[in-house]
Structure 1
Amino acid sequence: MPVTARIFQKQTIPLGSIQLENDETLPNVEVALETAGQAPEASGENVVLVCHALTGDAHAVGDSAEPGWWDGLIGSGQAIDTDRFHVITMNVLGGCKGTTGPSSVPSGAKQPYGSSFPFVSIRDMVSVQKRCLEKLGIERVEMIVGGSMGGMLVLEWGIMYPGFARKLIPIATADSLTPTAIAYNDIGRQAILSDPDYQGGDYYPGPGPVNGMKVARMVAMVSYRTPQLFEQRFSRNLQKTGLGLDALFQVESYLRYQGKKLSDRFDANSYLYLLRAMDTHDLGRGRGGILSALSKITADILIIGIRQDQLFPFSQQLELYNHLKALGKTCDLLEMDSDYGHDAFLVDYAQMGPKIRSFLQEIDG
């Protein structure tokens, strides 16, 4: 399918000082964002906020020259139609694509924050997004959508600012990570921390722990996809023949390629900070438990899960759905089957798209 030519705009919004959930203050925060589609209406009825996943960024909606990472879902005539909607995507706090994070240089300093950057939570990311939208003059939106870590932000939006969004779509996500997901994350984390080039997080202006990042990404890719997909794509086919250490399976070559690709574009400190934000996230924390937290949501909700997801098992989305239905919330559930596993939310638009389109077209009341 050819990429439809579209126009997107990049902006950097200064927010000043931000008080974090742990009571630390982060000065001179900036947020990188991109917008696409129609001009925003004062009522917010045509505004859609997109929340990205762990290694995503603000470039969800692209054009023919520079496709966005959700290019198959958002665009002219697509499920989230830029002929109708004003779409906003922000790079999260702690990221490395223009928003203040560990690789940013503090005002008056000569070196980036590095290890001195404070811990930021999923809730901190949402509060920064809220302030950014206020700066843009947006007081309400039609929908907030996101997958994986982005889905965590979507759920937090519904609890922290009930009524701000009329609709929520959390995809391939949960109220908290399973021990297995945390275990995968820690293997990647230890690969980075044990790389001599990590230097305690103060590796700038050097490239940092490139090898550690490569291994971390390789581990993550195994959790993002499924054994079925690996079998279909690679089986036991060799890239380089031989019986010794020089032999190279195609699956090995693929994982090494993915590791290099991420290490070339993503800052290791940001990766560690965002991983820890996901690990420690818990919707019920400090709110009297998950049911009490979910009771605050007033938006209509469409939950999307993938049966083959190894990182966020479908049972977690089903549990969220059952909790919300028990609380009397307006909630629907889409169960997808895909050999892409967790990554299906980035590629399987044929299943997601029609449901998202119809959900957006539903009229309140």
Structure 2
Amino acid sequence: MENKPTTITIQNFTTESGAFYATINLSYHLFGPALHTAPIVLVNHALTGNSQVVGLKGWWNVLIGENRTIDTNKYTILAFNVPGNGFDDTIIENYLDFTARDVARLFIEGIKVLQITQLFAIIGGSVGGGIAWEIAALAPQITKHLIPIATDWKSTDWLIANCFLQEQILNNSAKPIEDARIHAMLCYRTPESFKAKFDRTSNDELAIFNIESWLNHHGKKLQKRFQLSAYKLMNQLLKTIDISRNRESFLTVAAQIEADIHIIGINSDLFFTVNENKETYETLKKHKENVTFQEIDSIHGHDAFLIEYKQLDNLLKGVF
């Protein structure tokens, strides 16, 4: 399963901002039954993720795999790499050229090339869920189920502010990836999560608090495996989620999505707050019958979609 991704070449692509790319490499992984022999689930990765969803290094293998909630005996898993995410050889230096919607357009192109006419589900957490919203808005008939987790159809002012700070760190710091990651971890977790984990304990050897040692560790770990250009691009995508941009309104766009929409929020998420999720649900519910809202109960904040897999398992059982 640790095979290299396969690459599709997308030609003559113009981004929303008007930047022209003669070719863009779009790479992907497939897991489970061969394409077109089983229902297909598109999985969108989050900021530091990639198409290696399943297997030894699979970042979501507690949820997806043989005899898991999304069973690779029953479903074909398709996962694209966001071009420029650093997993393949594609590097995008001009990260400001791209928005989340551009990536959604590229994924739709990839789906066409693979001759897929209908997906069973699109699932994604965080920025991956935002891209899922964008795909469904661009192609309202593409999937039976839309499952956005720990995300929303738009980036709020709070999220944009945090992405702005991330960008400042990435462009100005002497240790950009490490420092940006340390700040990001504060948004991915919560005060309660840190208290439960560290409770003000110290590392006597290093003469620092354990929380500091943990943050340093996460910074260094990401620095070893992630490219600066990839971080800048993914942060830019997180900032630009908005299915209503240059369109009538959120409702006009979302009401056209034919899929059953299963919104899953996290009650302690500091990034995509549960109140925004509820508001999205309440607005949609008045105009669309097949929409649900469910909540993960966790002290761990935004990252709970990667931690609380038993709850996620229960919430998704009905769909899969």
Q: TM-score range by the shorter chain?
A: over 0.9
In the superposition, relative to structure 1, how do residues 156 and 120 fare at CA in structure 2: closer, same or farther (>3 Å)?
same
The alignment's TM-score, normalised by the length of structure 2, stands at 0.95
Q: 1:135 aligns with which of 113, 117, 123?
A: 113
Q: 1:78 aligns with which of 59, 65, 68?
A: 68
Q: 1:297 aligns with which of 238, 257, 265?
A: 257
In the superposition, relative to structure 1, how do residues 117 and 169 fare at CA in structure 2: closer, same or farther (>3 Å)?
closer
Where has structure 1 moved over 4 Å in runs of 4 or more?
6-9
1:98 matched to 2:88: yes
Match in the other structure for 1:69: 59
Aligned counterparts, 1:232-247, within 5 A: 232-240=196-204, 247=207
RMSD between aligned residues: 1.8
SS at match of 2:311: helix
Unaligned runs of 5+ in 1: 1-5, 103-113, 197-210, 361-365
Asked if structure 1 preserves the Cα contact closer than 8 Å seen for 2:134 and 2:153, the reply is no
The more displaced of 75-84 and 273-282 is 273-282
Aligned counterparts, 1:1-365, within 5 A: 10-41=5-36, 46-62=39-55, 66-98=56-88, 100-102=90-92, 114=93, 116=94, 119-195=97-173, 211-240=175-204, 247-360=207-320
SS at match of 2:213: helix
What's the offset of the Cα at 1:334?
Answer: 1.1
Percent of aligned positions that are identical: 32
Which whole-Å CA distance do the structure 2 matches of 1:94 and 1:176 have between them?
22
Which whole-Å CA distance do the structure 2 matches of 1:176 and 1:59 have between them?
26
Asked if structure 1 preserves the Cα contact closer than 8 Å seen for 2:127 and 2:237, the reply is no
SS at match of 1:358: coil
Which whole-Å CA distance do the structure 1 matches of 2:90 and 2:11 have between them?
11
Which whole-Å CA distance do the structure 2 matches of 1:47 and 1:8 have between them?
20
Asked if structure 2 preserves the Cα contact closer than 8 Å seen for 1:91 and 1:99, the reply is no
In the superposition, relative to structure 1, how do residues 341 and 358 fare at CA in structure 2: closer, same or farther (>3 Å)?
same
Deviations 1:76-121 (A, max 9, x none): 111111000000111113321116332xxxxxxxxxxx3x566111
What's the offset of the Cα at 1:219?
Answer: 0.6
What's the offset of the Cα at 1:274?
Answer: 2.0
Corresponding pairs, count: 320
Which whole-Å CA distance do the structure 1 matches of 2:179 and 2:232 have between them?
13
Which whole-Å CA distance do the structure 1 matches of 2:142 and 2:158 have between them?
33
SS at match of 1:128: helix
What's the offset of the Cα at 1:23?
Answer: 2.4
SS at match of 1:256: helix
SS at match of 1:233: helix
The more displaced of 13-22 and 300-309 is 13-22
Which whole-Å CA distance do the structure 2 matches of 1:118 and 1:257 have between them?
29
Unaligned runs of 5+ in 2: none
Which whole-Å CA distance do the structure 2 matches of 1:280 and 1:136 have between them?
27
Which whole-Å CA distance do the structure 1 matches of 2:144 and 2:4 have between them?
25
Asked if structure 2 preserves the Cα contact closer than 8 Å seen for 1:308 and 1:338, the reply is yes
Asked if structure 1 preserves the Cα contact closer than 8 Å seen for 2:187 and 2:270, the reply is yes
Which whole-Å CA distance do the structure 2 matches of 1:325 and 1:117 have between them?
36
Asked if structure 2 preserves the Cα contact closer than 8 Å seen for 1:36 and 1:86, the reply is yes
Match in the other structure for 1:201: none
In the superposition, relative to structure 1, how do residues 7 and 57 fare at CA in structure 2: closer, same or farther (>3 Å)?
closer
What's the offset of the Cα at 1:312?
Answer: 0.7
Which amino acid in 2 is paired with 1:68? G
What's the offset of the Cα at 1:7?
Answer: 7.5
SS at match of 1:328: coil
Match in the other structure for 1:205: none
What's the offset of the Cα at 1:270?
Answer: 2.0
Deviations 1:182-216 (A, max 9, x none): 222222221221135xxxxxxxxxxxxxx121110
SS at match of 2:97: coil
What's the offset of the Cα at 1:257?
Answer: 0.6
What's the offset of the Cα at 1:293?
Answer: 1.7
Which whole-Å CA distance do the structure 2 matches of 1:304 and 1:171 have between them?
5
Larger radius of gyration: 1
In the superposition, relative to structure 1, how do residues 166 and 341 fare at CA in structure 2: closer, same or farther (>3 Å)?
same
Asked if structure 2 preserves the Cα contact closer than 8 Å seen for 1:147 and 1:171, the reply is yes
Which whole-Å CA distance do the structure 2 matches of 1:73 and 1:240 have between them?
38
Which whole-Å CA distance do the structure 1 matches of 2:86 and 2:289 have between them?
36
